[in-house]
Amino acid sequence: MKLFNRILPLFLPASLALCFFSCTRPAAEQTMNRFIDSLMSEMTLEEKIGQMNLPVTGSIVTGQAQSSDIAQQIREGRVGGLFNLKGVESIREVQRIAVEESRLGIPLLFGMDVIHGYETVFPIPLAVASSWDTLAAQTMARVSAQEASADGISWTFSPMADVSCDARWGRMSEGFGEDPLLCSKMVAAMVRGYQTDNLADSTSILSCVKHFALYGAVEGGLEYNNAEMSRYRMYNDYFPPYRAAVEAGAASVMAAFNTVEGIPATCNKWLLTDILRNEWNFQGFVVSDYTAVQELREHGVAADKHEAALLALQAGLDMDMVSEAFFLLQDDKNMLPYIDKACRRILEAKYRLGLFDDPYRYCSRNREENIYTAQSRGEARRIARETFVLLKNDNSLLPLKKNSTIALIGPLADTRANMSGTWAVAATPSRYKTLREGLQDAVEGKGTVLYAKGCNLTSDPVLEANATMFGREMRDPRSDEQMLKEALSVARKADVIVAAMGESSEYSGECACRTDLSMPDVQHDLLVELKKTGKPVVLLNFSGRPVVLNWEAENLPAILQVWFGGSETADAVADVLFGDYCPSGKLPAAFPRTVGQMPMTYRRFNTSRPLADGKDTFSKYQSSYIDSPKSPLFPFGFGLSYTTFHYSSPVLQNSPTCPTVSISVTNTGTRDADEVVQLYIRDKVSMPARPVQELRGWQRLHLAAGETKTVEFLLDVQTLGFYDQEGKAVKPEGEFEIMVGPDSKNVKTLTLSL
Ligand code: NOJ
Question: With a 6 A CB cut-off, is 289 part of the ligand 1 pocket?
Answer: yes
- Quote the crossing angle between the two packed helices 26-42 and 336-353, to the nearest 10°: 130
pLDDT of 10 reads 44
Q: Cβ(62) to ligand 1 under 6 A?
A: yes
Tell how far the Cα of 418 is from the centroid of ligand 1, in angstroms: 20
Which of 18-32, 164-178, 267-281 is predicted with the least confidence, judged by mean pLDDT? Answer: 18-32
* 62 Cα–ligand 1 center, Å: 7
Judged against a pLDDT cut of 90, whether residue 416 lies above it is answered with yes
Which residue type occupies 244? A
Residue of 210, 218, 266, 423 to mutate, ligand 1, most atoms within 8 A of C-beta: 210
* Confidence (pLDDT) at 9: 37
Tell me, in angstroms, the distance from the centre of ligand 1 to residue 456's CA. 30
Best of 155, 158, 254, 287 for a ligand 1 pocket test (most atoms within 8 Å of beta carbon): 254
Residue 746's pLDDT is 98
Answer yes or no: is the C-beta of 215 below 6 A from any ligand 1 atom. Answer: no
| pLDDT for res 367 | 85
CA 192/CA 251 separation, integer angstroms: 11
Q: Which atom of ligand 1 is nearest to the CA of 158?
A: 7
Tens of pLDDT, residues 105-149: 999 999 999 999 999 999 999 999 999 999 999 999 999 999 999
- Residue pLDDT, tens place only, 487-523: 999 999 999 999 999 999 999 999 999 999 999 999 9
Ligand 1 centre distance from Cα of residue 167 (Å):
19
**113 touches ligand 1 (CB under 6 Å):** yes
Euclidean distance between CA atoms 524 and 551, whole angstroms: 9
Rounded to the nearest whole angstrom, what is the distance from the C-alpha of residue 67 to the centroid of ligand 1?
16
With 60 as the cut, is the pLDDT of residue 204 above it?
Answer: yes
Closest CA to 456 of 431, 430, 433, 482: 482
Q: Specify the DSSP element, H or E, that contains 392.
A: strand 389-393
- Whether the CB of 179 sits within 6 Å of ligand 1: no
Residue 14 has pLDDT above 60, yes or no: no
Kindly write down the DSSP assignment for every residue of 552-600, as one continuous string. HHHH-SEEEE-----TTHHHHHHHHHTTSS------SSPBPSSGGG-S-
**Which residue stretches of 76-114 are H helix?**
88-96
Answer whether residue 63 shows pLDDT above 70.
Answer: no
Q: What residues pair up with 548 in beta bridges, in sequence order?
A: 518
Distance separating alpha carbons of residues 282 and 317, to the nearest angstrom: 13
The predicted structure's pLDDT at residue 368: 82
Q: Are 137 and 245 in contact (CB under 8 A)?
A: no
If you average pLDDT over residues 82-89, what whole number do you get? 91
Which of the four pLDDT bands, split at 50, 70 and 90, describes residue 24? low
- Where is average pLDDT lowest: 50-59, 259-268, 491-500, 560-569? 50-59
pLDDT of residue 26: 85
How far does the centroid of ligand 1 lie from the alpha carbon of residue 73, in Å?
A: 22
Q: Is the minimum distance from the CB of 155 to ligand 1 under 6 angstroms? A: no
Interval 579-607: pLDDT, tens: 999 999 999 999 999 999 999 999 999 99
How far, in Å, is the centroid of ligand 1 from the Cα of 509? 11
Q: Going by CA atoms, what residue is nearest to atom 3 of ligand 1?
A: 289
Of all residues in the chain, what percent carry a pLDDT higher than 70? 95
The 3-state DSSP class for residue 612 equals: coil
CA atoms lying within 13 Å on the CB side of residue 599: 20
C-alpha–C-alpha distance, residues 737 and 750, integer Å: 6
* DSSP letter string, 330-377: TT-GGGHHHHHHHHHHHHHHHHHHTTTT-TTTT--GGGGGGSS-HHHH
Task: Tell me the average pLDDT of the chain.
Answer: 94
pLDDT at 740: 98
pLDDT at 257 exceeding the cut of 60: yes
* CA–CA dist 312, 166 (Å, integer): 29
CA 60 to ligand 1: nearest atom: 11
Q: CB of 568 closer than 6 A to ligand 1?
A: no
Using the Cα atoms of residue 122, residue 126, residue 127 and residue 133 in order, give the sign of their dihedral. Answer: positive
Query: Can you point out the beta strands (E) in 227-321?
Result: 252-255, 259-260, 263-264, 285-287, 320-321
pLDDT in tens, 704-735: 999 999 999 999 999 999 999 999 999 999 99
pLDDT at 20 (0 to 100): 54
Model pLDDT, residue 577: 98
Name the residue with the closest Cα to ligand 1, atom 4.
289
| Nearest residue by C-alpha to atom 1 in ligand 1 | 290
Inform me whether the pLDDT recorded for 687 exceeds 60: yes
Distance 512 CA to ligand 1 centre (A): 14
Q: For residue 62, what pLDDT is reported?
A: 35
Per the DSSP assignment, residues forming a β-bridge with 730 are 722
pLDDT over threshold 60, residue 17: no
157 touches ligand 1 (CB under 6 Å): yes
**What pLDDT was estimated at residue 209?**
98
- Nearest atom in ligand 1 to 174's CA: 5
Distances (CA, A) of 345 to 287, 332, 371: 11, 20, 31
Which atom of ligand 1 sits closest to the CA of residue 257? 3
State the distance from the centre of ligand 1 to the C-alpha of 412, rounded, in angstroms: 27
Spell 74-112 as b/e; 16+ CB within 10 A means b: bbebbbbbbbbbbebebbbebbebbbeebeeebbbbbbb
Q: What is the mean pLDDT of residues 311-317?
A: 98
Model confidence at 8, pLDDT cuts 50, 70, 90, reads very low
Q: How far is the C-alpha of 609 from the C-alpha of 623, rounded, in Å?
A: 6
Q: Does residue 16 register a pLDDT over 60?
A: no
pLDDT of residue 61: 35
Closest among 391, 601, 404, 608 to 502, alpha carbons compared: 391
Q: End-to-end alpha-carbon separation of the chain, Å?
A: 6
Mean pLDDT of 50-74: 68
Residue 628 burial class via C-beta count within 10 angstroms: exposed 0-12, middle 13-18, buried 19 and up = middle
Burial 672-695 (b: 16+ CB within 10 A, else e): ebbbbbbbbbbbbebeeebbbbbb
Residue 71 has pLDDT above 80, yes or no: yes
Nearest atom in ligand 1 to the alpha carbon of residue 157 is 7
pLDDT reported for residue 72: 92
Lowest mean pLDDT among 359-368, 451-460, 745-754: 359-368
CA dist 237 and 473 (Å) reads 38
Pick from 124, 156, 157 the residue to mutate for probing ligand 1's pocket: most ligand atoms within 8 Å of its CB: 157
For residues 227, 230, 233 and 238, what is the CA-based torsion angle, rounded to 10 degrees?
30
Closest C-alpha among 313, 305, 320 to residue 338: 313
- Mean pLDDT of the 177-185 span: 98
Minimum-distance ligand 1 atom for the alpha carbon of 210: 5
CB atoms within 10 A of CB 69: 10
Regarding the beta carbon of 171 and ligand 1, being less than 6 Å apart is answered: no
3-state secondary structure of 324: coil
Find out whether 212 and 243 touch, Cβ atoms under 8 Å: no
Tell me the average pLDDT across 308-324: 98
Report residue 443 CA to chain centroid gap.
33
Distance 595 CA to ligand 1 centre (A): 26
Q: Is the CB of 290 under 6 A from ligand 1?
A: yes
Give the contacts of 527 (CB within 8 A, at least 6 positions apart). 499, 501, 519, 537, 539, 551, 552, 555, 556
609 close to 623: Cβ distance less than 8 angstroms: yes
Under the banding of pLDDT at 50, 70 and 90, the label for residue 365 is confident
Is pLDDT above 80 for 19? Answer: no
CA-proximal residue: ligand 1, atom 10 (nearest): 290
Q: Is the pLDDT of residue 288 over 50?
A: yes
Which SS3 state, helix, strand or coil, does residue 88 take?
A: helix
Say yes or no to pLDDT of 66 above 60. Answer: no
Residue 453: closest CA among 414, 491, 506? 414
Q: Which of 260-264, 366-370, 451-455, 574-578 has the lowest mean pLDDT?
A: 366-370
Chain CA centroid to CA 266, Å: 21
**pLDDT score at 474:** 78
Instruction: Report whether pLDDT(7) > 50.
Output: no
Write the residue with the smallest CA distance to atom 7 of ligand 1: 157
Please give the Cα distance from 156 to 89 (Å, whole number): 19
Q: How many CB atoms lie within 10 A of CB 655?
A: 10
- Which one has a higher pLDDT value, 338 or 69? 338
Q: How many residues does the chain have?
A: 754
> Are the C-beta atoms of residues 493 and 450 closer than 8 Å to each other?
yes
Which of 321, 322, 513 most suits a substitution to test ligand 1, by most atoms within 8 Å of the C-beta? Answer: 321
Active-site residue numbers? 289
Q: What pLDDT, on the 0 to 100 scale, is given for residue 21?
A: 61
Q: State the average pLDDT over residues 243-261.
A: 98
